[in-house]
Structure 1
Amino acid sequence: MSDADDGRLPELDLRLTEENLNDFYEHAPCGYCSCLPDGTLVKVNQTLLDWLGYTRQELIARQCLQELLTIGGRLHYETHCVPLLLLQGQVRELSYMLRRKNGTTLPVLMNSVLLRDTNDQPLVVRVTLFDITDRRKYEQELLRAKMQAEEQREQLARANEQLANANEQLLVKNEQLTRINADLDSFVYTASHDLKQPIDNMAGLFAEFKRSATIPDADAASMMNMFEDALQQILSTIEGLTAVVQQQRQLEQIPEEAVAVQPLTEEIVRILQPQVQNAAFTLNFTAAPTLRLARPSLHSMLYNLLSNALKYAEPSRPPSIQVSTALADGVSVLSVQDNGRGIDLKRHGSELFQLFRRFHPEVAGAGMGLYLVNRLVNQAGGRVEVDSTLGQGSTFRIYLPR
């Protein structure tokens, strides 16, 4: 090293070279002690005395190192540590609990070295002890965290098993429901088909009866009209049931496609508008010009909602119907809003999509339109939401996957 290099070194405080080695031993940040091969203490530093609460006179030549350990630690020291010292001359990082004078314990980590005399006989054991209280707390925290993690893992495994069992049961129930629904559809279709012919025969016979019979009773005419209305209601219900099942079966065979909403809606409006000449339609499909589902499904949804909007128009004002699309949270929304009679949702909300439910008896109908709309939407993987105020109108929103 050159003189120039020596000149760049920082000047040392000479007091550092006068460090008292005895003071360094006594007040080291760890415990020091020396003991005879049998464990009798012959030297202890002040740090260890402070940890244990003993005076030097109480330990030197009066107690053995192993007597400062707990019972389990003493057994380990005598059966494991001492043989290793004699065999290897040193041991490292053995964990023990020291017993303080007041009865409490202190976790320490022990390193020991065995010195021998000139005849290779054991002379003295030098021991270094490190306070691992904080480390022990940390290890205990880790152990608790590990136990909690294991418990949570077991709970999660049990929950997953329960969920798997629940899913399996749900699949079984879904299969059962699918079979039941298929059986019900077949039953409804068969029953309605088998009933249609006898009802048609009854209608024909009744028409012939009205044409040929003469009944002098003045009340007979009104009763016959009531019977004819009931007969027509039965026919309408049977035809509606048949149509629902037939349409469901047909739609299951038709693939989904991107259907342009504007021309389809305009076609339905042209069909319906002659029923109500003063009806106003507003169409806006800018947000979602196409919807992905089977074309007959979309046609049926729109036809039923628009025909209902006209059928249940408020007599005191011209019908105003707005049809639009929007995008919300990754789904397409088809909305049909009218200014008609509205529905009391607090009273009828839970029955809204039930078969044959009608909420305005004064208006002729079979009560199958909303049932069919909801069924078609569910089949397409969507849902229907309704806002309605009695006397002001209704808004039907159909949420469909994109």
Structure 2
Amino acid sequence: MNPQEDEQLPALDLRLTQENLEDLYEHAPCGYCSCLPDGTLVKLNQTLLGWLGYTREELVASQCLQQLLTVGGRLHYETHCAPLLLLVNQVREISYTLRRKDGSTLPVLMNAVLLRDSDGQPLVVRVTLFDITERRKYEQELIRAKGQAEERREQLARANEQLTLQNGQLTRINAELDSFVYTASHDLRQPIDNMVGLFAELQHTATFHDPEASSMMSMFEGALQQILSTIAGLTEVVQQQRQLEQVPLEVVELQSFAEEIIRSLQPQAAELEATFSLDFSTVPSLRMARPSLHSMLYNLLSNALKYAQPGRKPHIKVNTALQEGMALLRVHDNGRGIDLERHGRELFQLFRRFHPEVVGLGMGLYLVNRLVHQAGGRIEVESIVGQGTTFCIYLPV
């Protein structure tokens, strides 16, 4: 036998068995009324009278149930509810709005049962009404929230359409700019080469008696070489971008990939006595175009060596992590650092350089930024002048 069955139930308070049925009817938490088949009211409980604000004498045998409803509710009751009662003897959970004596309204949910006499003739309709004011407020709030959500969805759809249009325009503009840069650099190269040839001939054949001529010639030659380097850089950036756009994605194992890049930088690294720390345990591989990843990592590692702090051996850390649902490729060095407060907005602009004493064209970070965005990622930079720089590249997993 279940031990719980041996437990004695608490003694029943006999006063609960002596409830007054009339009182239960009059003060029930819902409205009760009875009416004739044509709707004439014959009985209402005190709860319903309290809701409506009428006295019993004002309603009994004086008004019909449908007269207590709004115009729309009355039409529905007469064309739908009353015929359905005659057909199936009951209706359930029909929403109506009652009109109070003071003109205000009360939303209710109605259940009704039709009782018949011994001959089967309709005798009386018993009606139960539930106050659904709070439910109606909740429903209206849901409708309002749904309307707001729909409005926001439409706004987002319009914004997305606008962004798609703008993205298409930017893509077209970028393509046109790339074509312009490539064409301009190609067309400029021939006249510049001609100038270089003419200048070389001038150096061999002309004699200058001005003592400052030699330094001026050197300055002119340097300017020509700078123009040639800029044109070559522009051409290289556009060509590399076009080539990378056509390379398929593949899974790249980062450990061996990074080690291969470091070996290619070994002469420079050995001269500086640089050391590297690699940790790809969290994200051991990335799925992207191998040449793009090579260009990104090569530029960052070579820059870490190029901009090493004088008098300090470079130590470069490369690792991965998972953040915000994306793969994070982090490259940290202990080099010269960048004044981000001063140069932060220009950091990824083409031909922008922040350490004039170091030889370079200012294309590396520009290309890295373009490749990161092309891969669907973003790049963030942390740097302290004299202490080092950290590049954080977020890429899709």
Say whether the fold is shared (TM-score over 0.5). Answer: yes
Report the secondary structure of 2:358's partner residue: coil
TM-score when normalising by structure 1? 0.72
> Matches of 1:105 and 1:252 in 2, distance apart?
68
User: CA separation of 1:115/1:99 partners in 2, compared to 1, >3 Å: closer, same or farther?
Assistant: farther
The alpha-carbon deviation at position 363 of structure 1 amounts to 1.8
For the aligned residues, what is the CA RMSD?
4.6
User: CA separation of 1:48/1:321 partners in 2, compared to 1, >3 Å: closer, same or farther?
Assistant: closer
> Matches of 2:203 and 2:65 in 1, distance apart?
114
The answer to whether 1:171 aligns with 2:164 is: yes
> Matches of 2:48 and 2:292 in 1, distance apart?
90
> Matches of 1:14 and 1:267 in 2, distance apart?
91
> Matches of 1:15 and 1:383 in 2, distance apart?
76
Q: CA contact under 8 A between 1:32 and 1:48: conserved in structure 2?
A: no
Q: CA contact under 8 A between 1:340 and 1:394: conserved in structure 2?
A: yes
Task: Map 1:288-299 to 2 at 5 A.
Answer: 288-299=283-294
Q: Of 223, 228, 232, which aligns to 2:221?
A: 228
In structure 1, the gaps of 5 or more residues are 1-11
User: CA separation of 1:142/1:196 partners in 2, compared to 1, >3 Å: closer, same or farther?
Assistant: same
User: CA separation of 1:170/1:329 partners in 2, compared to 1, >3 Å: closer, same or farther?
Assistant: closer
Matched residue type, 1:259: V
**Equivalent residues, number:** 361
User: CA separation of 1:306/1:67 partners in 2, compared to 1, >3 Å: closer, same or farther?
Assistant: same
> Matches of 1:239 and 1:394 in 2, distance apart?
28
**Sequence identity percentage:** 54
Matched residue type, 1:324: N
Matched residue type, 1:284: L
Q: Of 149, 152, 158, which aligns to 1:156?
A: 149
> Matches of 2:190 and 2:48 in 1, distance apart?
110
Q: CA contact under 8 A between 2:25 and 2:45: conserved in structure 1?
A: no
The alpha-carbon deviation at position 218 of structure 1 amounts to 2.1
Report the secondary structure of 2:395's partner residue: strand
Q: CA contact under 8 A between 2:316 and 2:331: conserved in structure 1?
A: yes
Specify the alignment match of 1:311 in structure 2.
306
> Matches of 1:176 and 1:45 in 2, distance apart?
72
Specify the alignment match of 1:336 in structure 2.
331
> Matches of 1:40 and 1:365 in 2, distance apart?
98
Matched residue type, 2:178: D
Specify the alignment match of 1:270 in structure 2.
263
The answer to whether 1:29 aligns with 2:25 is: yes
Q: CA contact under 8 A between 1:69 and 1:99: conserved in structure 2?
A: no
Specify the alignment match of 2:347 in structure 1.
352
The alpha-carbon deviation at position 333 of structure 1 amounts to 2.5
The alpha-carbon deviation at position 352 of structure 1 amounts to 0.9
Specify the alignment match of 2:241 in structure 1.
248
Q: CA contact under 8 A between 2:41 and 2:65: conserved in structure 1?
A: no
TM-score when normalising by structure 2? 0.73
Matched residue type, 1:152: A
The alpha-carbon deviation at position 99 of structure 1 amounts to 7.7
In structure 2, the gaps of 5 or more residues are 1-11, 27-31
> Matches of 2:164 and 2:15 in 1, distance apart?
84
> Matches of 2:45 and 2:265 in 1, distance apart?
104
> Matches of 2:395 and 2:41 in 1, distance apart?
87
